[in-house]
Amino acid sequence: MLTISVVIPTYNEARAIGEVVRSVPHTRVREVIVVDNGSTDGTAERAAAAGARVIHESRKGYGAACWAGAQAARKSDLIVFLDGDRSDDPGQLELIADPVIRGLADLVIGSRIGGNLEKGSMPLHAQLGNRMIVFLLRLLYGVRITDIGSFRAIRTRILFNLHMEQMTYGWPVEMVVKAARSRLRIQSVPIRYRKRIGVSKVSGSFRGSVLATYYMFLVPLKYLFKE
């Protein structure tokens, strides 16, 4: 059996993180790593109380938190990333991880758009933005996925071979772009997506939405002709 680490980047998710950590199917998972990205609401303490290994990343940014978690998980064969706001259901971990474990895919991304969206879980502008980014990735790189979501699985060795650089909003799409450039097998898996607890750091604010959109569209173009 491959060893699996779950990495959960967090920033002020105290209301949800305990439930998220406890919901991870520990029979399949070696460890749960919660990366605290400067929370001020007790997220780290609640994650630790729920059984997670907590590490702290002082550099602000979603990508920086994911990268710190990956560094901490590098002894595992497989890393599963998911959000700490309860929108991603850890109980669906097998759906995400199994294609990689069975050698059918190198990178698997949970598809909210292609799955079951709970009412109020994903604003319309976020759905439209995702569809546009997915279309751009198909047009530029031939990637046939249906979403660019956070719930994903990848072999640890492969992730480090991608030499990730985007430490903010561009991390999710950079992983897909570099995997496509490396001719890796990328697969979408339909998942159930729930309404998050609290306010989204991305779609829940104008600034977050604008910055995420900027990076999501910039990154595919940036790496298109890069050696």
The residue whose two tokens read 């997915």 is: 134
| pLDDT at 214 > cutoff 80 | no
Task: Please give the pLDDT value at position 124.
Answer: 87
3-state helix, strand, coil in the chain (%, to 5): 40, 20, 40
Strand, coil or helix: 30: coil
DSSP lists the bridge partners of residue 152 as 81, 109
pLDDT tier for residue 209 given thresholds of 50, 70 and 90: low
**Crossing angle between the packed helical segments 62-72 and 171-181, to the nearest 10 degrees:** 60
State how far the Cα of 149 lies from the Cα of 111, in Å rounded to an integer. Answer: 7
Q: How confident is the model at residue 207 (pLDDT cuts 50, 70, 90)?
A: low
List pLDDT tens digits, range 130-189.
899 999 999 999 999 999 999 999 999 999 999 999 999 899 999 999 999 999 999 999
Q: What confidence tens digit (pLDDT) does each residue in 94-106 have? A: 999 999 999 999 9
Give strand pairing partners of 107: 154, 186
Nearest to 61, CA basis, from 212, 222, 221? 212
**Whole-number average pLDDT of the chain:** 93
pLDDT at 125: 82
Contact 61, 167 (CB under 8 A): yes
Domains, the chain, with CATH or none: 4-222 (3.90.550.10)
DSSP secondary structure letter of residue 41 = S
Measured CA to CA, the distance from residue 38 to residue 116 in angstroms comes to 32
Name the pLDDT band for 202 (thresholds 50, 70, 90): low
19-78 tens-digit pLDDT: 999 999 988 899 999 999 999 999 999 999 999 999 999 999 999 999 999 999 999 999
Q: 89 near 121, Cβ under 8 Å?
A: no
